[in-house]
Amino acid sequence: MTTWHTLDVEQTLAELQVDSAGLSQAEAVGRLARYGGNRLPEGVGRSTWRRFADQINNLLIYVLITAATITALMGHWIDSTVILIVVLVQTVIGFLQEGKAEQALAAIRHMLAPKATVWRDGHRKTVAGEELVPGDIVLLEAGDRVPADLRLLDSRSLAVDEAVLTGESMAVEKNNEVLSGALPLGDRRNMAYSGTLVTYGTGRGVVIATGADTEIGRISGMLAAIEQLSTPLLRQMDVFARYLSFVIIGLGALIFFVGYWLGHNDPTELFVAVVALTIAAIPEGLPAILTVTLAIGVQGMARRNAVVRRMPAIETLGAVSVICSDKTGTLTRNEMMVAAVVVGGQRYQVDGDGYSPDGAVRCDGEPVQQSPLLTLLGRAALLCNDASLRHQQGVWQVEGDPMEGALVAFAAKAGLDDKVARQDWRRIDVIPFDARHRFMATLNHDHHDHQQVFVKGAPERILDMCAQQHAENGSEPLNRQLWQDQIDALAADGMRVLAFASQTASRGDVELDFEQVEAGLTLIGIAGMIDPPREEAIAAVGECHAAGIRVKMITGDHALTASAIAAQLGLKNSQRVVTGQQVDELSDEALQALVQEVDVFARTSPEHKLRLVEVLQAAGEVVAMTGDGVNDAPALKRADVGIAMGRKGSEAAREAAEIVLLDDNFATLAAAVRAGRTVYDNLKKSIVFFLPINGGESGSLIIALLAGLTLPITAVQILWVNMVSSVALAMSLAFEPAEPGVMKRPPRSSREKLLNGFLVWRIVFVSMLFVAGIFAMYRWAIYQGHDIAMARTLAVNTLVVMEVFYLFAVRYLDSASITLRGVVGTPVVLVSVGLVVVLQMMFTYAPFMHRLFDSRPVALEDGLLVIMAGVAVLLALEAEKYLRKIIFMIFGRKISSAR
């Protein structure tokens, strides 16, 4: 593979078989046929039918579909239809939610340059970006997006923003000088890469790679090779569904053979009974509740400008133990800002937000009212400057170089009005910035026959050009060591430093020349610029730490800058920074040990980010990755949950992520973690609510089958309970608010079982209560002389009433439910209970329901007995909570004493 940055211009042109006149049109057409178009390979999206089919990829759903098919073949059309409706409802909910997420992202897709200016047949020509081929000579100017990977042939003051590939927030100065050795992409100053943005100057380069062969294309290839992981919840639900399905099918088969061989029952009737048992044991509503609970979390995030592309991702955030974040544009705004200035030997702090001109210059925390030196520095920063700011759609944006935009904002904070100052000091001439002389100079006239030269540039260069320094009372000899110490202090804080100087020009001068400004200047001061951390990101990092989540910064920027930003964000161990080169030197075992200690990684490539995510996952961590650049896309895809920035993020990052933050607000991530933990808590409540109901139904049927008794509830009545009353009640649990202290507890283990010992006990205990209630009511009704239809109606109503009272108990698994808060519940709980009451009245008294479910009207005295059964369940559960608390206090104290 050719290392283009190590070849000189002549070698590069010879390697590509082209000269300075460019390719001929005929040669370009031939190369296009040979190399293909300059476009990234398009991923194959999921079709509508595929997205629909993915919603039923669940073992429990397969069992239900099988039951529906068999019951239909046996002529039990009502049972079959109801089962299929259950499956359809679950599928449609998930399908519609994913469709909304894809539509929300459809409007924000772009990447490669649509047009390019080339030199062909010795003439300048504009062609479609897709038609570029290796060997084409491309002309670049400010505002262009680089259309392909280029080796620069020449440049004039060329600067390129490479943040999308490297994460470096500052534009990189480019030249055509030969480089040596294996260099990170961000240090290849003689190269320009596809998808990056020219912010300043002009240049000319020869195309060395197009399409899939570019750096962006290479990252695209990495994405295709990365396997996307399943979420912790889906893994848990898959194991749970598998075990439950095998138990149900095995139990059904056992009862069928026992009933047929030992009980000599009619096989057709026996099979219908086993189907009823299967339906009773499967929590049909659970997939729907799972989907709805996730959808509610997704909708909550949508209100906070976060698009969740795959619903389970919202719950995965609740299990996240490590967040790996890119720096530029994620933890920071990707907007340069003057953070500190030094004039007259005094350092001042500058506050504000990005390119906004609002803010103040402070000394020891107090705003500075009047300072001639600060005004002079602000004037130099504004006049020796080609950028401007504009306010559009509530956001301040820079036209020109981002660094110069930051200087315009600083001038406003120093008290200068942009338009007034530029009118009062009209520019006469300029020496543009160039990498060779490393400064920019302007000649300005103030309409009062005063002319002033303002110069800005690299600190070392400006110090060499100065003999004096501005002071409060005029000028004085330059104290170079003092200024060097201040420059080093700003650099140590991760800032990029510029120096400013001035010189009084002779009246009537209309031109600037190098000899005039290269000596005899008077130093005004220095300014330190940085892409500062977002205020909301600082708070979000603190909230994540409180929740037991480690936050790690993985950036392509320089180590000093990364360390300074990490310290401001409050990351742990911010002083220790590991570079991508050091990562390359470590084995996976050594890196796995190191990554537990280090939270800041700098000068990293896409491969480094991906490897760090994989090493953390191998150590058992659940990893979230946030980013906005093309260089973040592979790690975003590999992470347990990838979170991309929507406003300034690249298309590659958005496509690789499960969650897209449309407002690029890192603080939304902490809110998403809270939502994820709440979703998981509510899902566990739903499972603990559903399973005892199914356990009670199944237990009563098993007892009846083994004892040779009539079934107390039919299959279609079970489906009514499972999919109407149970779902309506369980749905309210999806709206339960976050529990107190949800962000104060450590993240759950990725290996945690869905059901722990306590929850299994609670399910078994409540199932026994439900079995007792169903059978007691059914046998009592038969004893009272009611027919089987009436006895079953009473049994079904008893089951539903027990569910209602159990709902109030399950909302507080460990604390008392018979309290004002517990009885009143949330508005959603009360609405759900009211809905179930209305539905159950229809089941009991509506004639058309009698035909569908073979139900009968219930007398008032019988109804009161049904309600008492529900009260008995609630009292039994409250007694169990009380006894369990006493047992824990006794044995817990003994264990504590033994220790």
List of residues 6+ apart from 383 with CB closer than 8 A: 421, 422, 425, 427, 442, 444, 454
Spatial distance between the Cα atoms of 767 and 11, rounded to a whole number of angstroms? 81
Instruction: Supply angle C-alpha 702, 703, 708, rounded to 5.
Output: 100
Q: Which residue has the tokens 């356990």?
A: 695
Q: Residue 60: enclosing H or E segment and its boundaries? A: helix 59-73
Q: What region, left, alpha or beta, does residue 533 occupy, with left being phi > 0 and alpha being psi -120 to 50 degrees?
A: beta
Task: For 587-612, give one letter per residue: b (16+ CB within 10 A) or e.
Answer: eeeebeebbeebbbbbbbbbbbbbbb
Active site residues: 326
Burial of 362 (0-12, 13-18, 19+ CB in 10 A): middle
Spatial distance between the Cα atoms of 681 and 202, rounded to a whole number of angstroms? 57
Nearest partner of 175 among 193, 166, 188, 161, judged by Cα: 188
Q: What is the CB neighbour count within 10 angstroms for residue 1?
A: 3
Q: Which whole-number Å values give the CA distances from 515 to 451, 463, 465, 480, in the listed order?
A: 17, 16, 10, 22
Q: Which residue has the tokens 């510029």?
A: 498
Spatial distance between the Cα atoms of 89 and 731, rounded to a whole number of angstroms? 14
Spatial distance between the Cα atoms of 606 and 810, rounded to a whole number of angstroms? 47
* Helical axes 606-618 vs 215-225, angle rounded to 10°: 20
Spatial distance between the Cα atoms of 375 and 372, rounded to a whole number of angstroms? 5
Six-digit token string for 872? 């008995």
List of residues 6+ apart from 363 with CB closer than 8 A: 346, 348, 349
Spatial distance between the Cα atoms of 715 and 164, rounded to a whole number of angstroms? 59
Q: Which residue has the tokens 């200047």?
A: 521
List of residues 6+ apart from 16 with CB closer than 8 A: 134, 135, 206, 207, 208
**Helix ranges, 725-859 (H):** 726-733, 757-783, 788-810, 820-824, 827-845, 847-853
Spatial distance between the Cα atoms of 175 and 159, rounded to a whole number of angstroms? 9
Tell me whether strands 115-120 and 123-128 are parallel, antiparallel or unpaired.
Answer: antiparallel
Beta-bridge partner residues of 479: none
DSSP state of 332: B
List of residues 6+ apart from 323 with CB closer than 8 A: 544, 549, 550, 551, 552, 623, 624, 625, 626, 669
Helices (H) and strands (E) counted in the chain, each on its own, are 33, 28
Q: Which residue has the tokens 């996730």?
A: 294
Spatial distance between the Cα atoms of 536 and 663, rounded to a whole number of angstroms? 12
Question: 666 with 626: CB under 8 angstroms?
Answer: yes
Q: Which residue has the tokens 């604390």?
A: 815
Spatial distance between the Cα atoms of 178 and 176, rounded to a whole number of angstroms? 7
